[in-house]
Amino acid sequence: MQYDNTPVSQNIEDRRGQGGGGGGGMMGGGGLGIVGVIAVFAISYFTGINPAVLMGGAEMASRYVNHGAPTQPAKTGPAVDPDDPTRKFLAHVMGTTEAVWGTVLPQQTGLEYTPATLVIYDGATRSGCGGAQAAMGPFYCPVDKKVYLDTSFFRDMKAKYGGGGDFAYAYVVAHEIGHHVQDELGILDKADALKARSSQTQANAISVRVELQADCLAGVWAANANQKWRILEQGDVEKALATAQAIGDDRLQTAARGYAVPDSFTHGSSAQRAKWLTAGLKSGRIDSCDTFSQ
């Protein structure tokens, strides 16, 4: 992925090295290994707790935990290195999302775009939705309009989710920003209202549609960013699709317990995730991302 010529966001909150603020958890700051993934599904199987709440990829899980809890004040910690490559990369990715959605959202919907903030941390921190921990994976909190990312997730991606790579990492961030776009459009509130009137199986199906739409919106970002800055290099799309497929509910469940239970899916199958990311990439348009009627 080429990003040196792209805009740089100032909406980065770097909390690394400031200590944990999220309380205790199943895992420390290193994220979930494969043993952790298996343990999560075992806990989920016997307790009935949605595995998305317990493991990486629970983008929207914190939305329902300690709703409205205050964001932890910034602590005094080590000085942030402005030349840190991870921070620089993420600032460029966020810069492209701001530029793309700042143009695409008003052009295609008539709504102005208000940027989100990306919080990068290590181990644990606090969000407007409650505690944030590495084991939860990246997520968007609609209470404070921030995306939370423990950068160890990128190491997990490299080890488990299709080999990683800059564009695959950017896709993860763009997916979370996709949730912010949904929030701007009022889709998250409507989905929550529907889930409140639904059975657990129906609520899971709604969650899948929300997540698949965020995948598609990530594709819309990539299509428009590539048109403007030529960010894509050979193999980038394939790596992102491999990542989308690797974190499909069917593949994760099968890896953890030997079989998949479609009624329990909350993010979509590998095929669905790849399909909707591709739909956004091909069209570059928000109206191609209507996952609720298909």
What is the tens place of the pLDDT at every residue in 194-252?
Answer: 999 999 999 999 999 999 999 999 999 999 999 999 999 998 888 888 777 776 766 67
Of residues 245 and 28, the one with the higher pLDDT is 245
Residue 236 inside a domain? The answer is yes
Residue 242 inside a domain? The answer is yes
Average pLDDT, stretch 96-114? 98
Work out the mean pLDDT of the chain and round it to a whole number. Answer: 79
Residue 4 inside a domain? The answer is no
Predicted TM-score (pTM) of this structure: 0.79
CA angle 278, 63, 156 (to 5 degrees): 55
Rounded CA separation 76/225 (Å): 36
Residue 5 inside a domain? The answer is no
Of residues 190 and 38, the one with the higher pLDDT is 190
Of residues 105 and 250, the one with the higher pLDDT is 105
Relative to beta strand 117-121, strand 12-14 is: parallel
Of residues 289 and 155, the one with the higher pLDDT is 289
What is the tens place of the pLDDT at every residue in 260-275?
Answer: 777 777 788 888 889 9
Q: Which domain holds residue 70?
A: 12-288
Residue 89 inside a domain? The answer is yes
Residue 34 inside a domain? The answer is yes
Per-residue confidence (pLDDT) for residue 27, from 0 to 100: 31
Residue 2 inside a domain? The answer is no
Tokens of 147: 């995306």
The 3-state DSSP composition of the chain as helix, strand, coil percent (nearest 5) reads: 55, 10, 40
Residue 128 inside a domain? The answer is yes
Q: Per the structure, how many domains does the chain have?
A: 1
